[in-house]
Amino acid sequence: MKLLLIEDEQELGDNIQKLLLDKKYICEWVTTVAEALDKISFYDYDCVLLDLMLQGANGLEVLKELKRQHKLEAVIIISAIETLEARLEGLRMGADDYLTKPFHLSELLARIEALLRRKNFKGNNIVSFNEIIIDVLAKTVCINHKLIDATKKEMDLLLYLIANENRVLSKAAIAEHLSGDMAEMLDNYDFVYAHVKNLKKKMNAAGAGDYIKSVYGLGYKWKNE
């Protein structure tokens, strides 16, 4: 998978690139609109991560150019502008997702994975991990070929954990991922514990591996045994 990151904030760009490289993605990183336009005219990417407020230029120019050239790149806007209008405008112009800064890196990762899945496996959106098979569209979870009774939240949690395999997920990140638009209002992440506990119980009962590990003081981690 090949990604293009357009971000002029040095530290943040650096972190995102590292994250993606860790995940074995190929990630190119540019800091200006001009460089980005160069890149997209020469190469094809699976996904473009686009910051809107770039020095002296609007990141939406890149999006416009992509659409003008009828390119198929999935686009995730990452921006500090959190207004509904900016969000709607970005989506209207053809972006696939919109993530407001500040965000958890794990959230970005989960969104990229979900987006690439949607792009690459048309009509057959399936995530599998060893004995676990999740049909994202049908909203079903199978373990050892047996359907388990997981709630929507539990399925979301499962997908999030798998997308962030081997990464420590803080309770805050999980809480925000699970509560969507309501995340901004949260100040208590205790409910995450209940969801994780329930999911673990259901996985155990279905004979799945004990992939969810607690990390002291920090949160949880999905780890292949």
Partner 1 sequence: MSKNLLNKTLQIYSIYAIIILIVAAPIFYFAIKRLYIKEADDTLLLHKKEFVLYTLPSMQEDLIPTWNRFNRNTQIINDGILKADSIYAASYYDSLDAEIEPYRVLESSITIGNKLYTYRAKTNLVEVEDIIINIVILFLLVIILLLLGLFFLTKNLSVSIWKPFYRTLNAIENFELDKAIVPIFLETEVKEFNRLNNTLQHLIENNLSVYKSQKEFIENAAHELQTPLAVFQSKIDQFMQRNDVTQEQSTLLEGLATSVARLTRLNKNLLLLGKLDSNIYSEKTALSISSLIEKNLNFFTEQAEAKNIEIEFNTIEEGKVLANKALLEMLVNNLFLNAIQHNVEAGNIYIEVGNDYLKVSNTGKAIQLNQAKLFTRFSKINTSEKGNGLGLSIVKKIADLNGWELKYEYENQFHIFLILF
Max Cα distance, the chain (Å):
56
CB of 155 to partner 1, least distance (A): 15
How far is residue 35's CA from residue 65's CA, in Å, rounded to a whole number? 13
Q: Which of residues 52 and 134 has its CB atom nearest to partner 1 in the complex?
A: 52
Q: Which of residues 86 and 133 has its CB atom nearest to partner 1 in the complex?
A: 86
List C-alpha distances in Å: 131 to 89, 141, 205, 209.
41, 10, 13, 8
Among 126, 213, 128, 198, residue whose Cα is nearest residue 166: 213
Pairing mode, strands 168-170 and 146-148: unpaired
CB of 146 to partner 1, least distance (A): 27
Q: What value does the CA radius of gyration of the chain take, rounded to a whole number of Å?
A: 18
> Footprint of partner 1 on this chain (CB under 8 A)?
9, 11-12, 15-16, 18-19, 22, 80-85, 100-106, 167-168, 170, 172-173, 179, 182, 184-188, 190-191, 193-194, 215-219
Q: Which of residues 57 and 172 has its CB atom nearest to partner 1 in the complex?
A: 172
Tokens of 33: 């609109």
Cβ neighbours, 10 Å, residue 120: 12
Query: Which residue do the tokens 């939240």 mark?
Result: 153
Q: Which of residues 66 and 196 has its CB atom nearest to partner 1 in the complex?
A: 196
Among 208, 198, 196, 206, residue whose Cα is nearest residue 130: 208
Q: Which of residues 27 and 208 has its CB atom nearest to partner 1 in the complex?
A: 27
CB of 72 to partner 1, least distance (A): 28
**Residue 179: CA atoms inside 13 Å, Cβ hemisphere, count?**
17
Specify the DSSP element, H or E, that contains 222.
Answer: strand 219-222
CB of 213 to partner 1, least distance (A): 12
CB of 59 to partner 1, least distance (A): 14
CB of 9 to partner 1, least distance (A): 6
CB of 182 to partner 1, least distance (A): 5
Q: Which of residues 188 and 224 has its CB atom nearest to partner 1 in the complex?
A: 188
Q: Which of residues 125 and 170 has its CB atom nearest to partner 1 in the complex?
A: 170
How far is residue 50's CA from residue 129's CA, in Å, rounded to a whole number? 30
